[in-house]
Amino acid sequence: MYTLYYAPGAASMVVHLALLEAGAPHELRLVDLDAKAQRDPAYLKLNPRGVVPTLMVDGQPLFESAALLMLLAERHPDSPLAPPQGTPARAAWYSWIVYLSNTLMSAFRLWFYPQDLDDTPAVRAALQRKIEAVWDLLDAQLSAQGPYLLGERFSGADLLLTMLMRWSRNMPRPATEWPALQRLADRVRARPSWQRLYEIEGLREW
Ligand SMILES: N[C@@H](CCC(=O)N[C@@H](CS)C(=O)NCC(=O)O)C(=O)O
């Protein structure tokens, strides 16, 4: 039994989706970010950075959504989360997950938490350019070798990408303006795991 500390639509979303895709028994603990519950001393003991997600695995608190996705794929090898260990597709899968986490996730963190940097129009424009350059690259990849990041095969990397696309929905150019990305999102959003998560987390907006 896993325990996921989450907030609706936050970085915990990909971990929640992975648990649903794997059919893994889990319980959810809501962390109310508006009420600053992530700064609560009891929560900080689990996650000293004061962010979601945290996933309890065999009594151990673990963090970083991309790492949790990789861990769940390892622990649930029969799930659709990742191709089999030792295959070329699995090697590509690691690359995509770390790329998404390193580039998009870190840029989005600064986009949503401008207090971490100087919040000037120039900084904001630079972040927007950085995020849009990633959409360019991913759209070209999916157009040439899609429809998923691993070609014909869906994987947890597509869950991570679609969550990150969702975060761009209120940006000047949302990711869905890139056609191959839009097609990928349509496929992922049609999955039962995505629809179930929306019900459980009470999400409405794309
Ligand atoms: N790289 C981290 C990002 C975690 C993160 O920044 N979570 C945000 C929500 S998406 C959070 O908890 N923010 C609350 C805060 O910083 O106070 C991950 O993927 O787990």
Question: What pLDDT sits at residue 119?
Answer: 84
Cα–Cα distance between 70 and 92 in angstroms, integer?
A: 13
DSSP-derived letter for residue 83 is P
Pocket lining: 53 vs ligand 1, CB cutoff 6 Å: yes
Pocket lining: 104 vs ligand 1, CB cutoff 6 Å: no
CA of 173 to the centre of ligand 1 (A): 23
CA of 52 to the centre of ligand 1 (A): 5
Q: Which DSSP helix (H) or strand (E) runs through 54?
A: strand 54-57
pLDDT tens across the length of the chain (206 residues):
999 999 999 999 999 999 999 999 999 999 999 999 999 999 999 999 999 999 999 999 999 999 999 999 999 999 999 999 999 999 999 999 999 999 999 999 999 998 888 889 999 999 999 999 999 999 999 999 999 999 999 999 999 999 999 999 999 999 999 999 999 999 999 999 999 999 999 999 99
Would the pTM count as exceeding 0.95?
yes
Cα–Cα distance between 53 and 195 in angstroms, integer?
A: 20
Question: What pLDDT sits at residue 172?
Answer: 96
Q: Is the distance from CB of 97 to CB of 69 less than 8 angstroms? A: yes
CA of 140 to the centre of ligand 1 (A): 28
Cα–Cα distance between 54 and 39 in angstroms, integer?
A: 13
CA of 53 to the centre of ligand 1 (A): 7
Going by alpha carbons, the residue nearest to atom 13 of ligand 1 is 51
Going by alpha carbons, the residue nearest to atom 9 of ligand 1 is 10
